[in-house]
Amino acid sequence: MKTAVTELLGIRYPIIQGGMMWVGRAELASAVSNAGGLGILTALTQPTPDALRDEIERCRTLTREPFGVNLTVLPTASPPPYAEYLQAIIDSGVKIVETAGNCPKEYFDKLKAAGITILHKCTSVRHALSAQRSGVDVISIDSFECAGHPGEDDVGGLVLIPAAVKALSIPVIASGGIADGYGLAAALVLGAQGVNMGTRFMLTQEAPIHSGIKESVVQGSERDTVLIFRTLKNSGRVFKNAISEQVVAIERQPGGCTFEDVRPLVAGARGRATLESGNVNDGLVWASQSIGLMNDIPTCKELLDRMVRECRVQLAQAAELASA
């Protein structure tokens, strides 16, 4: 398949694996890239910039295809050494970077000087326009259905994707709620040049998390996610389990809550331990509404091959309807 995104990134299929904390490691990123998509390492999964350098080299031993690194910048009282992680990426010769969270404009000149293509993920057209002005090469527009933080506008993909395409002059990648070839076909028809998937890749054989988590989540329907942090104006979509329902209950208490009230339940270390233990009710598990479209745990190659077949069938059927 050929789109502006496949040409720009040097990949066979316009399918990108988004950055996922604790999940975006070399075994998954390399499998996606080997299957024809773009695998992404998640920088902050690694405890130090030097550990990220080692993970990049490990990924290179597993694939000769292009892969990228995600660097998510978030406001926090104790920020990680973002500049050092950025330097590790540049020093390692990575040529594709996905940024997310705050738009790290102060890093873009340095990335550009190193010949790095920048994909920036955002949840609104206004933020996408700002990122375009700051010099990013591709926008990944993340709709309300997504796992993680969908923003506070609550705009679904059928509106957000074409709105971004019409407003921007750079390629758009559709993200949020996409899990199969039907979604890929829809995104292309809406004007996107590719898709970004997180949850679907989390539920593959190569994803480095416990099989018990994969099996629990894949059994969920489109109704089995929940939005947390709504009252804190930092909405996040996660799998519906004992922990996420407890967080929502605390948020609904008279008088509301602060982040400190839920911090022990939502701590990143607790979520990581859950992904490793297989007990789905021990911590947060981030998941999109697209789990309602999944019923298996394929290899990345099986997934991408199937998606491309489904996409081509759907596009051909749509073309027949249009010409009738």
**Closest by CA position to 295, among listed 193, 183, 217:** 217
Reported as a pLDDT band with limits 50, 70 and 90, residue 34 is very high
Residue 42: pLDDT band by 50, 70, 90 thresholds?
very high
Q: Into how many domains does the chain fold?
A: 2
| 190 and 144 in a common domain | yes
- Confidence grade of residue 214 (pLDDT, cut at 50, 70, 90): very high
* 123 and 255 both lie in a single domain: no
- Say yes or no to pLDDT of 324 above 80: no
Q: pLDDT tens digits for 256-270?
A: 899 999 999 999 999
| Residues 33, 66 contacting (CB under 8 angstroms) | yes
Residue 181: give the domain boundaries.
4-208+296-323
Averaged pLDDT, 234-244: 97
Calculate mean pLDDT across residues 243-252.
97
Taking residues 65-88, what's their average pLDDT?
92
Which residue spans within 202-315 are E strands per DSSP? 225-228, 236-239
Q: Output the pLDDT for position 209.
A: 98
Percent of the chain with pLDDT over 90: 95
79 or 117: which leads in pLDDT: 117
Give me the percent of the chain exceeding a pLDDT of 70. Answer: 100
Q: Clarify whether residues 261 and 137 are in a common domain.
A: no
Distances (CA, A) of 189 to 125, 155, 168, 171: 19, 18, 16, 14
Q: Kindly state the average pLDDT of the residues 220-243.
A: 97
Q: In degrees rounded to 5, what are phi and psi of residue 3? A: -135, 175
Per-chain mean pLDDT for the chain? 96
Six-digit token pair at 130?
């700002």
Per-residue model confidence (pLDDT) at position 105: 87
Query: Locate tokens 């190659």: which residue?
Result: 301
**144 lies in the same domain as 32:** yes
Angle at 287 between CA 248 and CA 220, to 5 degrees: 90
Same domain, 301 and 257: no
Q: Mention every residue, 6+ apart, whose C-beta is less than 8 A from residue 81.
A: 49
| Per-residue CA distances from 262 to 98, 125, 169, 257, 259 (Å) | 29, 31, 41, 8, 5
Based on the fold, state whether residues 117 and 224 are members of the same structural domain.
no
Q: Any residues with CB less than 8 A from the CB of 260 and at least 6 apart, and which? A: none
Residue 76 has pLDDT above 80, yes or no: no
Q: Which of 17-31, 64-78, 148-162, 290-304 has the lowest mean pLDDT?
A: 64-78
CATH code: domain of residue 302: 3.20.20.70
What per-residue confidence (pLDDT) applies to 168? Answer: 98
User: 105 and 150 share a domain?
Assistant: yes
Give the model's confidence band at 104: pLDDT under 50 very low, under 70 low, under 90 confident, else very high: confident
Residues 142 and 264 in one domain: no
Give mean pLDDT, residues 241-248. 98
Is pLDDT above 80 for 77?
A: no
Closest CA to 298 of 218, 194, 181: 218
Task: Provide mean pLDDT across the span 120-146.
Answer: 97
Q: Could you tell me the two tokens for 285?
A: 């598990």
